[in-house]
Structure 1
Amino acid sequence: MHIAIIGAGISGLMTALELAEHGCSVDIFDQQQAGQAASWAGGGILSPMYPWRYAPEVNQLAQYGKSLYQSWNEKLYPITGIDFQIHNTGMLIFDQEDFQTGLNYATQHNEPMQQCDLLNRIQLETVNPHISKQFDQAIYFPQLANVRNPRLLQSLIHYLKQHPCVRFFEHCIVEKLIIKNKTVHGIETEDHQQYFADQVVLTSGAWSNYWQQQVQRKIPVHPVQGQMLLFKSPENWLPTMCMNRVMYLIPRQDGHIVCGSSMSECGFSTAVDAQTQQDILSACLEMVPELAQFPIVKRWAGLRPSSPHGIPYIGAMPELNRLWANFGHFRNGLCMGAGSAKLLAQLMLDQKTFVDPHAYSPDRLACAQLAIRENLS
C-alpha cells in the first residue's frame, strides 16, 4: 500500500514509522523542514499537565506515550545513534486546589503511572532542594518523565530517511487533494506536481483547517501560540519537573531547563514578546529562585493545534474514501503522538485497535457541519 502523509511533525512522523514498519510505502510532505513547528517547540512532558483537567480520551492515549517511546527508542537508537533521552524526573505540582484530585486520580482512573504522594516541606527538600521556601507542600508524581523532543524528532527523521519504504518531500507545499468520485487519489503541490497514492493522511497540525473547503467539513482546529525560554544549569542540577499555575520547569539530562508556557491567540505568529517572556520567567523563579543565577540561552514560540476539548481526530474522514486524519492534539501532541499513530495505523491496516477508536472518529466533523447548517436554517 502506497501512502501520502501531509505534515512531518510528530503525528506525521510517528504515523509514517508505524506504516513503514508494516511494509507500506510512504511519502511524507511538509511545507517546511520536517520536525519543526509545535513538535520541536514543545516541552515533551509524557503526561498531560494536570490530567484530571483533560477529557478521558486525551488521557487514554497519553498513558501509552512513555512505554511506546521507550520501545521505539530501543529500536531506533542503535541505528540512528540519537537517544530520545527519556528522563525519569518525576513531577512536583504546587497548586493546592489540585492536591486532593491529584491524590485520588490514579486509583479512580486506573492509571498507576499517575500515582502521587503529598509531601511536606522536609520531604520536598529531600526530593528537590531548590524549591522556593514559600511552598510548604506539593504532590509528587515519581513515575512521570519527559522526552527531549528535538532529539526524538531527529531520531525519527534520521531513521525514516534511511528507510527503504520512505521518501521525504520537504519545503513542498501541498495545495490540494486529487479527488474523483468522492475518492482521494493523491495530492497536488503548489508547483502543480501530482503524486498519486492509495491512501492520504492529513497530519497538518495547526494548519489542518486549510482542508475545510476540499473535504466540505468544518475543521475546528486553529493555532494557539505558546512561548518558552531555556536556562542552562549544571548537569542534573534540577532533579524534578515542577509545575504551578500551568507554568512548568522541565530539566534535561545535560542541565538545560525548559520553562513555559504561555497561551495566546495570535494566528500563525511565532514572535516572542517581552511581557510574555517576563511572565514565564517570573513564574519559574517563583518556583525555583536559584534559577536566576543561570543564563537564559534561548527563547522561542510554537503553534499548538487547538481543538475542542483537546481530543484529536484520528481515523477515516467522512464521505471521502482513502482519506485519513490524525490532527487536533492541542497541548498533548508529544504524549499522545505515539498512541495516536499506532491507533491510526491499526485502523488503516484493518487490525484490532488497542483502544476504542470511536471517540476520536472524524465523523465528529460531519456532526459539527450539520450543527452549523441547523443554526443557519
Structure 2
Amino acid sequence: MQQVVVIGGGVMGCLTALELLDNGRQVCLLERGSTGQEASWAGGGIVTPLYPWRYSQAISALAEWSQAHYSRLCQQLHQRTGVDPEYTECGLIWLDHAEQDAALAWATEQRSPLTAVDSDFIYQQVSDLAPGFTRGIWHPQLANVRNPRLMAALKKRLLQFPEFTLLEDTLATGLKVEGGKVKGVAHSRGEQAADAVVVAAGAWSGDWLGDLGMELAVEPVKGQMLLYKAAPGWLPSMVLNESRYAIPRRDGHILIGSTLEYAGYDTSTTAQALESLRASAHGLLPALAEMQPVVQWAGLRPGSPDGIPFIGEVPGIEGLWLNTGHFRNGLVLAPASCRLLVDLMTGKTPEMSAEPYRIEGRIGIR
C-alpha cells in the first residue's frame, strides 16, 4: 500500500489526508503544533470568497465545486464522528457596495442567485443593523461553517482509519530524495518513509520549499478577529460592509473580521486592531457597543499572488506535491483543492482543470 506523508494539519492537510485514505493510501500527517489550530481555526468560515465577482475563473471553479459539496461533507463528518461542523445556510448581504452593478452582471453570467435588494428588505432581514443603509446585494444560499468544529470533526474522522498516523508537535525538517524521487521525510522525532509527500503547510510552505532551494511565493498574512456573544438568532444573516463582516454562529456568537497585515510570523493581537474591529462592529450592529468582546485573536493566511493556490507535483522531484497558497480562501476552496490534488496523485481524471494551479513555471530556483 502506498505510504504518503502530509506536512501540515490545517484544513488542506486534513482533507487531503482524508481523500487519500478514501483512495486506499496509508497516510502519516506531520503537524508542527496541534491539528487545526492555525489559519483553519482562526478564519471566519464563510463558504465563499468575500467578493466572488472579483476573482479569476481559477478561483471561481474551485469555489463553485466546493460550495456544491460542503453541505454533504459536513453531514458525513457529523454522522461519522458526532461532531457537528455547523454548516449553516444563513445568507449574506453586501451593504451599499460600490461594485453592485458589476456583481449583478457577474451573477447573471454565472447564474448565481445574487439579487439587488432595497432598504426595506435589508432591515426586514437584519433588524438590528445600523440605520442608513440604502441598498444591498443578497445571496440567500451562502453558508458559513464553524471552522474549529470542522477541524475537530476532521481530526476525529482521520483517527478512525487504521491506515492513518498523526504526529503532532512534530516539525518536518527535510525531504529524503534518491535519484530524483521522494523516499521520506526527516522530522524532529526521526524519519518517516514515504512514496509521496504533500506540502500543505499553509503560511510556512514557502519556507519549507526554500530549504529545498526553491522559491515558492507563499508568505504569512496576518488577520485579526473579534468575537461577541448575543442571543441565538439575534443576527439571522451574515452582513458585509467596507471589507468588514459579521458572521453569526448558531449559539449566538458573532465574529467580526478581519484585518489584513503583512507582519511576518507575528500572531500577537494589537490594540489598534481591537479599536478598528470594534468600530466596524458598532458601525454594522450598534447594539454590540453595549457588549464587551469575548476574545480577540490572530491567524496567518498563506498569501500568494492573485490568491491562486499551488496544486500539483513539483517539477524535478518525483512524488513531491503541493497544496498551498490559498490566501484568504482556504476553507472556501479546500474540498475542491484536495479532491483535485488526490485525483492527480492517484491518476484519476480530475473533475476540473488542473492547469491554473500547476507548479511548472510558478516556482523559482535559488
Same fold by TM-score greater than 0.5? yes
Instruction: Tell whether 2:210 aligns with 1:210.
Output: no
Shifted more, 97-106 versus 260-269: the winner is 97-106
Query: Alignment RMSD, CA only?
Result: 1.3
* Aligned match for 1:198, one of 187, 192, 195: 195
1:17-71 Cα offsets, whole Å, 9 max, x none, are 1111111110000100011110000001000001122222112101122332212
Secondary structure of 1:64's counterpart equals helix
2:247 matched residue in structure 1: 250
2:167 matched residue in structure 1: 169
1:287 matched residue in structure 2: 284
1:13 matched residue in structure 2: 14
Shift >6 Å, 4+ stretches? none
Name the amino acid aligned to 1:348: M
2:78 matched residue in structure 1: 77
Name the amino acid aligned to 1:306: G
Following the alignment from structure 2 to structure 1, what is the Cα–Cα distance between the partners of residues 10 and 278? 28
- 8 Å contact 1:215–1:320 — kept in the other structure? no
Greater share of helix: 1
Secondary structure of 1:302's counterpart equals strand
Q: Could you tell me the percent identity over the aligned residues?
A: 36
1:262 matched residue in structure 2: 259
- 8 Å contact 1:8–1:30 — kept in the other structure? yes
Tell me the CA shift for residue 214 of structure 1.
4.2
- 8 Å contact 1:27–1:167 — kept in the other structure? yes
* Aligned match for 2:135, one of 120, 137, 141: 137
Instruction: Tell whether 2:226 aligns with 1:229.
Output: yes
1:240-263 Cα offsets, whole Å, 9 max, x none, are 101111111000111000110001
1:107 matched residue in structure 2: 108
Distance 1:213 1:117, change over 3 A: closer
Name the amino acid aligned to 2:115: D
Secondary structure of 2:18's counterpart equals helix
Secondary structure of 1:73's counterpart equals helix
Name the amino acid aligned to 1:55: S
1:351 matched residue in structure 2: 348
Following the alignment from structure 2 to structure 1, what is the Cα–Cα distance between the partners of residues 288 and 269? 21
* Unmatched segments (≥5 aa) in structure 1: none
Instruction: Tell whether 2:32 aligns with 1:34.
Output: no
Counterparts of residues 61-100 of structure 1 (less than 5 Å):
61-100=62-101
Shifted more, 205-214 versus 274-283: the winner is 205-214
Name the amino acid aligned to 1:86: Y
Secondary structure of 1:278's counterpart equals helix
- 8 Å contact 2:96–2:134 — kept in the other structure? no
Following the alignment from structure 2 to structure 1, what is the Cα–Cα distance between the partners of residues 204 and 97? 37
2:179 matched residue in structure 1: 181
Tell me the CA shift for residue 111 of structure 1.
4.6
1:214-237 Cα offsets, whole Å, 9 max, x none, are 443210101000000100000011
Following the alignment from structure 1 to structure 2, what is the Cα–Cα distance between the partners of residues 280 and 248? 10
Following the alignment from structure 1 to structure 2, what is the Cα–Cα distance between the partners of residues 200 and 212? 12
- 8 Å contact 2:222–2:301 — kept in the other structure? yes
Tell me the CA shift for residue 346 of structure 1.
0.4
Following the alignment from structure 2 to structure 1, what is the Cα–Cα distance between the partners of residues 333 and 194? 26
Tell me the CA shift for residue 116 of structure 1.
1.5
Secondary structure of 2:47's counterpart equals coil
TM-score norm. by structure 2 comes to 0.97
